[in-house]
């Protein structure tokens, strides 16, 4: 939280100055009230009217300052929220493809929604509440010292025990808050999954499962939120009990001082406010300490910290070949392959053939840097792939998987991804991906909306968009995992013919099966023996 507060230190300083002004005006109204008590006892009607008018003016100014402070606070928090989202963007973009694949997107959605909301409510808003409490504490302390130092001493002694009492609380609040964050992530994941699979559940008559699973997840979330609120409430209740005792002692002391004429009687009317102000400020700081503990888990997930690991150099353009040398890879308890050797020369066309579970997809993930080999090496121009930053592999390699993802936008945007390409470049990519003729069937041509994840298109059309996307972005190494499996034979042949005849493209294609006459079209066909699931 400090990172964001420091970045907007001048804006936050303005908010603090506004809080100081409002508290000074509140002090002025308290002192005028004390003065009015004396005027009432003296029967000074004119003085009472003047004081009343002054209080009205002060409260009009206060209302304006409260409004202005709310506007400034909202604006600064909005800026800090934007920075938190940018940090989340950096954190997610810094994650490797393997890490991204292992985490459910529902978890990331929860980071952008619930975590930011809780960071704002329990972090930033409570920071301003804490600053306000400190200002009240300072102003109240100084004023009480000027009125009667014995009254101040009594207030500090009685309310000081409230603050000290909080140090004996266990750290349960932070732990329960962390569990709430985890339950939010789990709930978001389940809702996302159930919405995505709702059509399947309806087809097979399992609509009740939709309600039951979301209902169970919702119940777990609410139960954990209840435990957190209960835990925080218990801690707060203990402090309020101690605070009530401290308040009683302060009132008795104040009354006694007035009764024995140690302080003027009118002080009773405003002095009580001041002692309460000091006492409540300490109580607020004590409660905020607990709340800040609850906010910590949310900021821990948001704040991005770059790793101090030695940065690897980017993969230079591959000019000669990609070589797999004595490669071995295993999942826990399962050997995928051992002593694997392959060569992929730049400009060549290669096919990886094998039954399901033979390791085809695993091999592609090794080439793309998404997995690390247990034995042997992947070499780029005779240099070990491990010395390069795997995030840069995608600068040269395009991966077209079986389940193509499309953004909920137009055909054009899904191909260009917002890049600046000429109409000639787009048309060439469309023709080479066998998508050109299909545009005539689309209502708005390239500007046709594809729907959520391309649901308005056929599986073959989605795969052809993926191929066009790779071609227009000039990726010279094209890796296809059953990339034409959703196409009819005619369109599959058009794409394969285009890719096989393009001398600048290195093609590595995974296929479940290839006919003998098709094998002749490739530079080399590698057969992977069946081991375990890839």
What is the rounded average pLDDT of the residues 510-534?
73
**Rounded average pLDDT over 517-521:** 81
Q: What is the mean pLDDT of residues 298-320?
A: 74
At 148-165, the pLDDT tens digits run 666 667 666 766 665 566
Instruction: Give the per-residue pLDDT at 96.
Output: 63
Kindly report the CATH number assigned to the domain that includes residue 366: 3.40.50.300
Q: Is the pLDDT of residue 210 over 70?
A: yes
- pLDDT at residue 186 tops 50: yes
Helix, strand, or coil (residue 337): strand
- Strongest mean pLDDT among 137-141, 239-243, 413-417: 413-417
Supply the pLDDT for residue 188.
81
More confident site: 354 or 154: 354
b/e 65-89 (16+ beta carbons within 10 angstroms → b): eeeebeebbeebbeebbeebeebbe
In three-state secondary structure terms, 527 is strand
Residues 296 and 326 grouped into a single domain: no
Residue 172 phi/psi, 5-degree rounding, is -70, -30
Q: What is the mean pLDDT of residues 380-408?
A: 85
Does residue 310 sit within a domain? no
For residues 297 and 195, state if they share a domain: yes
Range of 175-184, 393-402, 523-532 with top mean pLDDT: 393-402
The answer to whether 188 and 107 have CB atoms below 8 angstroms apart is yes
Give the range of the structural domain holding residue 155, as residue numbers without chain letter.
Answer: 2-302
Q: What is the mean pLDDT of residues 175-188?
A: 79
Residue 403 belongs to some domain of the structure: yes
Q: Would you place residue 225 in the very low, low, confident or very high pLDDT band (cuts 50, 70, 90)? A: confident
452: confidence class by pLDDT, cuts 50, 70, 90: confident
Higher pLDDT, 21 or 417: 21
pLDDT reported for residue 359: 82
Claim to verify: residue 236 and residue 110 sit in the same structural domain: yes
Are 107 and 190 found together in one domain?
A: yes
Q: At residue 166, does pLDDT exceed 60?
A: no
The stretch 291-307 carries a mean pLDDT of: 67
23-65 residue pLDDT tens:
899 888 888 887 787 777 778 888 888 988 998 999 899 999 9
**308: in domain:** no
- Residue 155: predicted pLDDT: 67
Give the end of a domain, one of 246, 271, 302: 302
509: pLDDT strictly greater than 80: yes
Confirm whether 314 is domain-assigned. no
Residue 522's CB is within 10 A of a number of other CB atoms, namely: 19
Q: What mean pLDDT is predicted for residues 268-288?
A: 66
For residue 530, the model assigns a pLDDT of: 47
Do residue 364 and residue 282 come from a single domain? Answer: no
Give pTM, 2 decimals. 0.63
Q: Are residues 142 and 233 in the same domain?
A: yes
Residue at which a domain ends, from 302, 336, 363: 302
Interacting residues of 105 by C-beta distance below 8 A, sequence separation 6+: 189, 192
- Does 226 fall in a domain? yes
Could you tell me if residue 444 is inside a domain?
yes
Average pLDDT over residues 452-462: 82
Report the number of distinct structural domains present in the chain: 2
Residue 278 included in any domain: yes
Question: What does the pLDDT average to over 435-445?
Answer: 84
Task: State the DSSP H helix or E strand holding residue 415, giving kind and residue range, or none if neither.
Answer: helix 411-416
The pLDDT value recorded for residue 534 is 40
pLDDT at 307 over 60: no
Q: Average pLDDT of 399-419?
A: 84
Residue predicted with more confidence, 241 or 503: 503
Q: Quickly state the pLDDT bin for 531 (edges 50, 70, 90).
A: very low
**Counting Cβ atoms within 10 Å, is residue 197 exposed (0-12), middle (13-18) or buried (19+)?**
middle
| Low-confidence winner among 47-56, 138-147, 267-276 (lowest mean pLDDT) | 267-276
Q: Does residue 412 share a domain with residue 278?
A: no
At 533, the pLDDT band (50, 70, 90 cuts) reads very low
For 116-123, what is the mean pLDDT?
Answer: 80
315 within domain boundaries:
no
- Which of 302, 331, 346 is the last residue in one of the domains? 302
Q: Which residue has the higher pLDDT, 200 or 495?
A: 495
pLDDT score at 98: 59
The pLDDT of residue 206: 66
Q: How high does pLDDT run on average in the chain? A: 79
Co-location of 338 and 417 in the same domain: yes
What is the pLDDT at residue 179? 81
The answer to which of 24-33, 204-213, 326-335 has the lowest mean pLDDT is: 204-213
CATH number for the domain including 115? 1.20.1560.10
336 and 291: one domain? no
The whole-number average pLDDT for the span 159-176 is 62
Phi, psi (degrees; rounded to nearest 5) at 480: -120, 120
CA distance 373 to 351: 21
Indicate the burial class of 339 (C-beta count within 10 angstroms; 0-12, 13-18, 19 or more): exposed
Question: Between the ranges 193-197, 309-313, 511-515, 521-525, where is the mean pLDDT highest?
Answer: 521-525
Do 52 and 139 lie in one domain? The reply is: yes
User: For residues 259 and 31, is the Cβ–Cβ distance under 8 A?
Assistant: no
* Whether residue 325 sits in one domain with residue 470: yes
Same structural domain, 10 and 47:
yes
């Amino acid at each position: 939280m400090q990172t964001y507060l420091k970045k907007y230190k001048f804006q936050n300083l303005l908010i603090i100055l506004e809080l100081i002004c409002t508290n000074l005006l509140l002090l002025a109204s308290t002192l005028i009230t004390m003065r009015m008590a004396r005027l009432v006892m003296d029967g000074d009607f004119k003085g009472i009217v003047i004081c009343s008018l002054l209080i009205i003016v002060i409260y009009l100014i206060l209302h304006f300052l409260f409004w202005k402070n709310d506007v400034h606070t909202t604006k600064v928090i909005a800026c800090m929220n934007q920075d938190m989202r940018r940090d989340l963007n950096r954190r997610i973009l810094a994650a490797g493809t393997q890490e991204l694949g292992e985490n459910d997107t529902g978890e990331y959605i929860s980071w952008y929604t619930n975590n930011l909301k809780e960071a704002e409510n329990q972090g930033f808003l409570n920071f301003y509440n804490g600053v306000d409490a400190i200002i009240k504490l300072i102003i109240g302390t100084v004023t009480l010292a000027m009125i009667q130092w014995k009254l101040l001493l009594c207030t500090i002694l009685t309310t000081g025990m409230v603050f000290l009492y909080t140090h004996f609380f266990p750290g349960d609040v932070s732990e329960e808050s962390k569990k709430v964050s985890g339950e939010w992530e789990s709930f978001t994941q389940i809702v996302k999954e159930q919405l995505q699979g709702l059509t399947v559940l309806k087809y097979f008559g399992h609509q009740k499962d939709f309600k039951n699973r979301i209902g169970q997840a919702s119940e777990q979330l609410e139960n954990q939120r209840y435990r957190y609120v209960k835990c925080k409430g218990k801690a707060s209740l203990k402090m309020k009990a101690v605070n009530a005792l401290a308040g009683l002692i302060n009132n008795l002391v104040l009354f006694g001082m007035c009764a024995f004429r140690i302080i003027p009687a009118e002080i009773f009317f405003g002095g009580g406010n001041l002692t309460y102000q000091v006492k409540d400020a300490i109580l607020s700081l004590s409660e905020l300490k607990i709340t800040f503990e609850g906010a910590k888990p949310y900021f821990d997930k948001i704040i991005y910290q770059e790793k101090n690991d030695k940065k690897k150099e980017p993969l230079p353009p591959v000019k000669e070949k990609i070589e797999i040398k004595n490669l071995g890879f295993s999942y826990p308890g399962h050997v995928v392959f051992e002593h694997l050797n392959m060569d992929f020369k730049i400009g060549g066309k290669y096919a990886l053939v094998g039954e399901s579970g033979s390791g085809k997809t695993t091999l592609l993930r090794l080439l793309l840097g998404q997995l690390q080999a247990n034995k042997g090496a992947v070499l780029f121009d005779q240099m070990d792939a491990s010395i390069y930053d795997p995030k840069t592999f995608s600068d040269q390699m395009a991966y077209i998987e079986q389940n193509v993802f499309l953004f909920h936008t137009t055909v054009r945007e899904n191909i260009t991804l917002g890049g600046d390409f000429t109409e000639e470049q787009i048309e060439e990519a469309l023709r080479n991906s066998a998508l050109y003729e299909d545009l005539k069937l689309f209502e708005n041509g390239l500007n046709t909306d594809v729907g959520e994840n391309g649901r308005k298109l056929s599986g073959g059309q989605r795969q052809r968009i993926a191929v066009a996307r790779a071609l227009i972005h000039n990726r010279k190494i094209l890796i296809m995992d059953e990339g034409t499996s959703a196409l009819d034979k005619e369109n599959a042949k058009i794409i394969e013919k285009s890719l096989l005849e393009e001398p600048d493209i290195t093609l590595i294609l995974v296929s479940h099966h290839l006919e003998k006459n098709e094998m002749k079209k490739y530079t080399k066909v590698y057969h992977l023996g069946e081991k375990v699931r890839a």
